[in-house]
Amino acid sequence: MIELRNVNKTYNGKVKAVDNLNLKIEKGEIFGFLGPNGAGKTTTIKMITGIINTDSGSITINDVDIEKNPIEAKRQFGFVPDDPNIFLRLKGIEYLNFMADIYNVSSADRKERIDSLSKRFEMENAIGDPIQSYSHGMRQKIVIMGVLVHNPNVWILDEPLTGLDPKSSFLLKEMMREHTQSGKTVFFSTHVLEVAEKICDRVAVINNGRILFCGTLEEMKNHFKGESSLEKMFLEMTGNED
């Protein structure tokens, strides 16, 4: 569960990136965070994950406050950032073991998970190579594997499908579904409306730092009577601002 209460963030005293945001993501749901470029999605995710602080308001993950109790809060989630260019000098397997070490994963669990994830993501032949030598999609896969190796309760992903080929993208969606079926939570941002439409239990649409809609797609359709495609509803919502 993730809860944001009256969260605000302004950059350099002028750009109001997040404006009094309230959001509650429940246990067991896949929650999509939609919005155009510059809407405030990454800023919100960076505050949830404790990469940057809020100006005001509070954020809890499984009832643990990210600013008051950051280490305990960070134990609750795994995070896939929008840029997978991290730890390039490590080999894939070194990175996975590093993540498993940080999160105290037992050697039996890590072996089983690394074997199974490498197979599913078809990375068996690559994990012995440095991440530097990976393609963009492979770098994304290793970051995703690094999160799943510690099997977090809450999974947070910023634009996770960008750069993945159709097979990997399908696999990731399948894994998100599996993750929530065991009562865990998935929160991810995307531009790809079809993805949101297919796999999200609920979505929020953000523009100019403000939430314009939060609910199920069914509720969104009822709200926009007559519009059947998410794309049209999205364009109508984000185009009529100001």
Ligand X SMILES: Nc1ncnc2c1ncn2[C@@H]1O[C@H](COP(=O)(O)OP(=O)(O)OP(=O)(O)O)[C@@H](O)[C@H]1O
Which of 206, 214 has the CB closer to Mg ion?
A: 206
The tokens for 182 are 């065991």
DSSP string, 7-43: EEEEETTTEEEEEEEEEEE-TT-EEEEE--TTSSHHH
Q: Classify 184 as helix, strand or coil.
A: coil
Residue type, 128: G
The tokens for 132 are 């530097």
* Least CB distance to Mg ion at residue 209 (A): 13
Which of 95, 188 has the CB closer to ligand X?
A: 188
* Least CB distance to ligand X at residue 73 (A): 20
Using the contact rule CB under 6 A, the part of the chain among 9-17, 20-28, 63-71, 115-123 near ligand X is 9-17
4 near ligand X (CB under 6 A) = no
42 near Mg ion (CB under 5 A) = yes
CA atoms within 13 A on the CB side of 23: 33
Q: Which does 37 bind (CB under 5 to 8 A by kind): ligand X, Mg ion, none?
A: ligand X
DSSP 202: E
β-partners of residue 210 are: 207
Q: Which of 4, 21, 35, 180 binds ligand X (CB under 6 A)?
A: 35
Residues 6+ apart with CB under 8 A from 26: 1, 185
Q: Which does 170 bind (CB under 5 to 8 A by kind): ligand X, Mg ion, none?
A: none
The tokens for 35 are 């919005």
* Least CB distance to ligand X at residue 235 (A): 15
Q: Which of 37, 104, 106, 125 binds ligand X (CB under 6 A)?
A: 37
Using the contact rule CB under 6 A, the part of the chain among 40-48, 102-110, 128-136, 137-145 near ligand X is 40-48
For residue 15, give Cα distances in angstroms to 10, 12, 19, 35, 122: 5, 7, 10, 17, 42
For residue 97, give Cα distances in angstroms to 19, 76, 111, 192: 39, 19, 9, 32
Which of 46, 91 has the CB closer to Mg ion?
A: 46
Return the biggest CA–CA distance within the chain.
Answer: 55
Q: Which does 102 bind (CB under 5 to 8 A by kind): Mg ion, ligand X, none?
A: none
Q: Which of 42, 60, 76, 97 binds ligand X (CB under 6 A)?
A: 42
Using the contact rule CB under 5 A, the part of the chain among 12-20, 41-49, 94-102, 109-117 near Mg ion is 41-49
* Least CB distance to ligand X at residue 187 (A): 14
Which parts of this chain interact with Mg ion (CB under 5 A)?
Answer: 41-42
Which parts of this chain interact with ligand X (CB under 6 A)?
Answer: 11-12, 15, 17, 35, 37-43
